[in-house]
Every structure is written in structure tokens, then in C-alpha cells.
Amino acid sequence: MKVAFMGTPSFAVPSLKALLASRHRAVVVITGEDKRAGRSQKITETAVKRYARQFDLPILQPSDLNVPSFVRSISEFNPDICLVVAFRILPPDVFTIPSFGTINLHASLLPQLRGAAPINWALMRGYHTTGMTTFSIDKKVDTGGVLLQQQVEIHPEDDAGSLAVRLAEAGARLAVRTLDELEDGILKPVQQAGEVSYAPRITRKTCRIKWHWSAERLHNRVRGLAPSPGAFCMLGNKVVKIFKTVPHSGMVCSDAGAVIPDNASGLLVSTGEGCLEILELQLEGKRRMTVAEFIRGRPLPTGTKFN
């Protein structure tokens, strides 16, 4: 099949790579616009664009998906199907262009975790398994008929970064298998069934650590937001991002957010239920570091409290 591939971040690159190695042909790549990034505000290409340029593929970077000129541009490539991986919400004029329609690769087992941040929320809610779903796009976001699903185990040591890598690889294989079986006429979409849950966009409010929560809940919040954007709290007037923790639910603590003094294992902080051991963190204006490095540079006296 002739495929129009749509994707922007590094999560989408394994799927494009698998597509280019398959029996199908990528006729165009649609990705996000180049943006300024970093302190130098250097123009940066999307991960998908950087990968696609190695193969001299036609690349479109629309600012507006609804303009007629963009719709015409895709139509001129005459794709049999569109494959969408971590892109934007498509208008009907776009997703109805191909004869086989448009399929999306979503990082959850739909109808669980519909929305923008399924990987983060799977971890933040303490799931032990998640997965990938291919489905047919229709007018309502993440509600189309399911084509294929692949379950993926969440490891205790996973954060959003490590889980995303495994999901992206599993999803790449699932996407190509979906294209194969659609072309062979052995796959039809099936209506989503089961309990619906949502994974809304991550905001600054999502990232704010609430020390009155339990240690287990805080641990899941930290791993679900690591390595980026990072869960944060305040130490005095400085922002502290926390990236790696261990919950100790059996310990009796008091004063949520208070540092437990004279702790041989490193940095323990009281929570609403149990204590949270911090392993890696970043003080505003500094690099990410281990707690041992942090304490060497900034010892925490008795009475220190995170807010």
C-alpha cells in the first residue's frame, strides 16, 4: 500500500523505520513545524523530519491542517492509507482522503487512557500493564474501531522515558502488521469495549508534588513524569525537580514534606502515608544529580522542609 505517514516526536520514529522496511511504500511524511529550542533558540527539526530526510522522502509541515491547500497536497500523493503516530487531531477532510481510511497508533489498550498522555498516566495511576492499539480514526478522538492491540508489561523500575521506548518498538511492529492485514483483507475494525478512562494533557499543576499524598502515590507521580517534564516541589524559593524515588510505606513519619534527619540511606521525606526516598533530583539552575551529589553541595539541616 501507498502510505502517508504522520508523526512528530522520537516516539514515532520506530514506526516510520518499520514502515520503510516493510512491503508498503511511504509516499509522503507529514510532521510538525521546525521550532526554536534551547537557550540559543536554534531552529530545530522534528525527530521524524530528521529521520525522513535520510531517505529523501517528500515532507510536509503544515501549520494549519484545515486549509484546502494542505488537503490538496495530501490528495496529490494518492495514498491508500494514512498512518498516524503521535501527531495532531485530524479534520475529516484529511482522514477521509485514503481509500483504506486513516489509522492511529495509540499508546494504551483502548478504551483505557484515551487522550494526550497515556504513557504518563499509566504510570501515575500505578498500572502494571499497558499496551498499544491501532484503530480507525473517526470524528471523536480515540473512539474509532480497534484493529489490533498488543499488551506491554510495566516494569517496577520504569519511568515514562523507558516505558515509551518499549511501547514505541512494540507499536512499530503492530502498525506494520495492521497495514499487512488490512491490505490482505483479513482485518476489520471492532467497536471499542470495556471501561473508558482518560489521560489528559500534562500541565504544570499535574507536575506539582503534594506531600500529603501517600509515598506510593507520589512515587508513581514521579516516575510518570520522568524524565520530562519532571515532578517538582519547592525548597525555599527554589524549584526542585525529582526524577527517581523509592516509597517506604511501612515507615511512621510526620510533617508531610519534612526531611527525616540522620538518615543513613540518603534523603527521606515524610509524606501523608509513609516516607519517600529521593534518589535523583535537580535544583533550579543546576544539573540533574544523585542525592549524594546534591547533599555534598547543599547539606540539608534538621528542620528542612520541601513544599
Reported as a single tens digit per residue, the pLDDT across 19-55 is 999 999 999 999 999 988 777 788 899 999 999 999 9
111: domain CATH number is 3.40.50.170
Q: For residue 146, what are the β-bridge partners?
A: 135, 190
Helices and strands (H and E) in the chain: how many: 9, 14
Residue 195 lies in a domain: no
Residue 304 lies in a domain: no
From CA 129, how far away is CA 158, in angstroms rounded?
11
Same domain, yes or no, for 163 and 266?
no
From CA 133, how far away is CA 150, in angstroms rounded?
7
Name the percent of the chain lying above pLDDT 90. Answer: 89
Segments of the chain scoring below 50 in pLDDT: none
Same domain, yes or no, for 56 and 117?
yes
What's this model's pTM, rounded to 2 decimal places? 0.95
Residue 86 lies in a domain: yes
Domain that holds residue 249: 204-297
Same domain, yes or no, for 240 and 177?
no
User: Would you call 163 helix, strand, or coil by DSSP?
Assistant: helix
- Tell me what pLDDT residue 264 has: 62
Mean predicted lDDT score pLDDT of the chain: 95
Same domain, yes or no, for 240 and 100?
no
Reported as a single tens digit per residue, the pLDDT across 89-120 is: 999 999 999 999 999 999 999 999 999 999 99
From CA 189, how far away is CA 79, in angstroms rounded?
20
